[in-house]
Amino acid sequence: MATSSKVHLSPSQQPVFSVPGITAETADITSELLQENLEKHHIYFNNAGFHNHIVHHLLTLFALNATPAEIKQGWDDNVSYQRPPVPLKLSIVTDMHDPKKFKTYLGSEKYYHDFLILFQEEIDQKSWQDVLNEYLFKGDDRADDMLVRMFGGILHPIIHLGFGVEFEQPSIIAEALAQSAIHDNREASHLIESEKAARALAPDHQTDKPIVKLLGDIYIDTQRAPGSRAKYASQVHVTEENLEEKTAEMINAAAYFTGAAQHPPHQVRFDFWNIHAVNLSIFFCSFLKQPWLSTPHKIRLLEWKIRIDLAMYTSPRPPKLLLDEITNYESKQDSSWEDVFNRVKAYHDDGHACKLVRALANGEQICKRYEDKDGFVIKGDMWRKLANMAIDSVEAGSPDYVRSGAWSSVPLRDQSRL
């Protein structure tokens, strides 16, 4: 049984998206290695705030029906550079149970181990569902502050939370909460500002503008004045009636602005920051299914996700989105979904590629019923083409992704094929 301090996976797990046939052997080795990661490693692998991705990597490989050998390869590729946690101070954990003292420890990675034990104890005393409702969704100052931190660090804390919820692992949920607590609240502080701006609009001035239309408006407004981020984010409105459709629209839009942001004549590459918007998107299908999470909280989470996506597209400068780069893409291998999964399971990295491929496969399934609606640009075989673009691009060699718009480091395409 999975607990706040024990990882336990089984072949009967029901992830949002998985490849059938997961074996007991794969479940056992994944559980064993994630347990070792929980006990022996910090959530950062260095002192510069770079994230430990072992949980993300192995759970994605598990969902893609990796063999035990493939799971072990993912572990071996990344275990050597992890760092141990800072020694625990039980007096600090005791302090953290006091809400007034809790906030004095926020934002410092040296307290990760203490926060982890705190949240494990809280989950043991209550339940992981009650702890999430208290620490993230209660609506008081502490919960709002923690929720903002969840969206920091290029979305890593909430991605980690998504894995914990999807795979029903209280220990990983405790890790996610501890990870959120050691992030600062500056990177995503605009979410509160945008939410206030949206709520200030009178109901007759609230819109349901498609996300892709907002992306287009942002691109046109390249001379963004201070406050323009809130201007567009305040136009995001989700209702109980359109919650499921808007979830699918968010997934579609994230795949669109990530995949279409190409820069010919350079080879196809994905922006490293924006792939996190796609990689996070899959977990909103899981959040939708949670009976313990109220509809208003589901709406708030989704609105924040859309707003953070708009901010990611905007910074540092919104790229022109070239849809024909997807529709006209010709892969030398033109892999089926099964072949894409096999290639990405064999690929040596820290899990970014397999997360991206699984999220795209999920997108195809979730968006299919809405393909004829406004705001759904990615449709049909474009999802598989995006998956081919993803695996082709990382297999092509350095750089595997574009960082901070540095296209000059990306090789040019074969001119004979242009």
The Cα–Cα gap between 6 and 231 comes to 45
Percent of the chain at pLDDT above 70? 97
pLDDT at 199: 87
pLDDT at 415: 59
* 206 confidence band (pLDDT: 50, 70, 90): low
* 227 confidence band (pLDDT: 50, 70, 90): very low
Percent of the chain at pLDDT above 90? 89
Which is more confident, 224 or 117?
A: 117
Measured in degrees and rounded to the nearest 5, phi and psi for residue 169 equal -120, 100
pLDDT at 28: 98
Average pLDDT over residues 260-278: 98
Measured in degrees and rounded to the nearest 5, phi and psi for residue 29 equal -70, -35
* 223 confidence band (pLDDT: 50, 70, 90): confident
Average pLDDT over residues 313-340: 96
* 205 confidence band (pLDDT: 50, 70, 90): low
pLDDT higher than 90, residue 34: yes
Contact 219, 321 (CB under 8 A): yes
pLDDT at 44: 97
Task: Please give the single-letter amino acid code of residue 184.
Answer: D
pLDDT at 416: 42
Report the range of poorest mean pLDDT among 48-57, 224-233, 255-264: 224-233
Cα dihedral 282, 283, 286, 292 in deg (nearest 10): -160
H helices of 167-282, in order, are 170-182, 190-200, 211-220, 228-233, 243-259, 275-281
The Cα–Cα gap between 224 and 48 comes to 31
Task: Please give the single-letter amino acid code of residue 48.
Answer: A
Measured in degrees and rounded to the nearest 5, phi and psi for residue 412 equal -75, 160
pLDDT higher than 90, residue 405: no
pLDDT higher than 70, residue 310: yes
pLDDT at 188: 85
Measured in degrees and rounded to the nearest 5, phi and psi for residue 250 equal -60, -45
pLDDT higher than 70, residue 418: no
The Cα–Cα gap between 187 and 241 comes to 31
44-73 residue pLDDT tens: 999 999 999 999 999 999 999 999 999 999
pLDDT at 228: 62
Measured in degrees and rounded to the nearest 5, phi and psi for residue 257 equal -75, -20
* 202 confidence band (pLDDT: 50, 70, 90): low
pLDDT at 225: 55
pLDDT at 226: 45
pLDDT at 382: 98
Average pLDDT over residues 387-397: 98
pLDDT at 224: 57
89-102 residue pLDDT tens: 999 999 999 999 99
Average pLDDT over residues 223-229: 58
* Prior bond of 319 cis (ω within 30°): no
The Cα–Cα gap between 81 and 75 comes to 11
pLDDT higher than 60, residue 294: yes
Contact 180, 157 (CB under 8 A): yes
Which is more confident, 206 or 155?
A: 155
Q: Alpha carbon of 68 to those of 2, 111, 163, 341: distances in Å?
A: 20, 34, 20, 15
Cα dihedral 254, 376, 395, 401 in deg (nearest 10): -30
pLDDT higher than 60, residue 417: no
